[in-house]
Structure 1
């Protein structure tokens, strides 16, 4: 989640949702993934593998799960956690180990960093919430050093034999969990619908390749509803 990522209605609406759900964001991620979310975040941090003494950017840092794991895993690396939600950042800063991360309010469509500033970029659930996905990935390509890797945790539209069952579960259960756990059915109805409507990993790979990334791969998670993608900026 990274100030308004866009200046249009969607950017404003999404910003409002993430400001609102910050207090129960970690709890809902745990419940919706049956406890798998933190494991996926650890895998994202492990896959980015920035150079020793380098710079790592965690976009859509939210409550800082990936950024904090990266700071623990790579003690010689400077980790910057960036998000558009001041409330998310406030909660990230209150977590144990938060002093090891540089927290920054930032717009994913117009990053406040110089070209080729980072040895690696991670992100969690950013792309489905932006109006211009190629523009956001273009910004990441700009600030990433040649040979640096981007690792993305995202939702994924289900497919295959389980697709009807999974879609039904997402449509019914996710908003219900939002009502029961967070007392906020509306926000999680949006999050469920954005998951079902989002791009496939193959589509994101096409955009990454067109921007100059190589060695692109992905691994689906949790009945195909989440995915970890990775790519390397060409030298």
Structure 2
């Protein structure tokens, strides 16, 4: 594992217990709704096998389970602390929780009908490798659906950036009890690719029909892309 990946892993291990509370606060209660939307998009075509990467506490994985009660759902993360929290929550029947590094997925080619993830891509050290791995494990015609943060753009972007730099670390100090972790969240979001640049990376990995929907003043994006076939 790369040094930068180990640092990110330690960050998420440290905030696992308060992760859901902070997500609700930072998105004004919208996070779970977006996760349900991701699950709906991933299950929009007939299928049985689904992989939720960077599953965290398993919000998207459980939403997929609701959409596909008889489906095989894997919730994978490289934070054991996140997986520990996920395993303790209700609604886990039929979900297989596994440790996995998104850079090197321990799954066979063409296995999954849908791959999902939330806030994964801004945290990886090799974005192209991670997208290539998702392409590899998807069946032809399979869909990736993802929730990702995005640097704000437009006329209000300076105000939004300022708000993020002040509000999120403050919440991280008071509620999350880990200011550096939430300062990292702000820095990784503001330093991440624009939607136009990320679209090109999806396409470079071989995906087609790449679509994006803006949420929460452009700070969050819902992505879908399809493997040809």
TM range (shorter): over 0.9
Once the two structures are superposed, residues 73-121 of structure 1 have per-residue CA deviations (whole angstroms, 9 ceiling, x without a partner) of: 1112111000001110011011111122111000100000000010110
Q: Which runs of 4+ in 1 moved over 4 A?
A: 50-53
What are structure 1's unaligned runs of at least 5 residues? Answer: 1-6
Q: Is the Cα–Cα contact under 8 Å of residues 154 and 228 in structure 1 kept in the other structure?
A: yes
TM-score w.r.t. length of structure 1: 0.95
Deviation at 1:49, TM superposition (A): 1.5
Secondary structure (helix, strand or coil) at the match of 2:165 reads helix
Residue in 2 aligned with 1:141? 135
Aligned CA distance change for structure 1 residues 161 and 53 (closer, same or farther; 3 Å): closer
Residues of 2 paired with 1:87 and 1:184: CA distance? 15
Q: Distance in 2 between matches of 1:159 and 1:50?
A: 30
Equivalence for 1:92: 86
Q: Partner of 1:212 in structure 2?
A: 206
Q: Does 1:48 align with 2:42?
A: yes
> What value does the CA root-mean-square deviation take over the aligned residues?
1.0
Residues in 1 aligned to 2:112 and 2:137: alpha-carbon distance in whole angstroms: 6
Give the TM-score of the pair, scaled to structure 2.
0.98
Q: Residue 182 of structure 1 corresponds to which residue in structure 2?
A: 176
Q: 1:23 aligns with which of 17, 34, 57?
A: 17
Length, aligned pairs only: 229
Note if contact 1:50-1:56 (Cα within 8 Å) is conserved in structure 2.
Answer: no
Residues 116, 142 of structure 1: 8 Å contact kept: yes
SS of the residue 1:165 aligns to: helix
Q: C-alpha separation between the residues in 2 aligned to 1:52 and 1:185? A: 43
Q: Which runs of 5+ in 2 are unaligned?
A: none
Q: Secondary structure at the match of 1:24?
A: helix
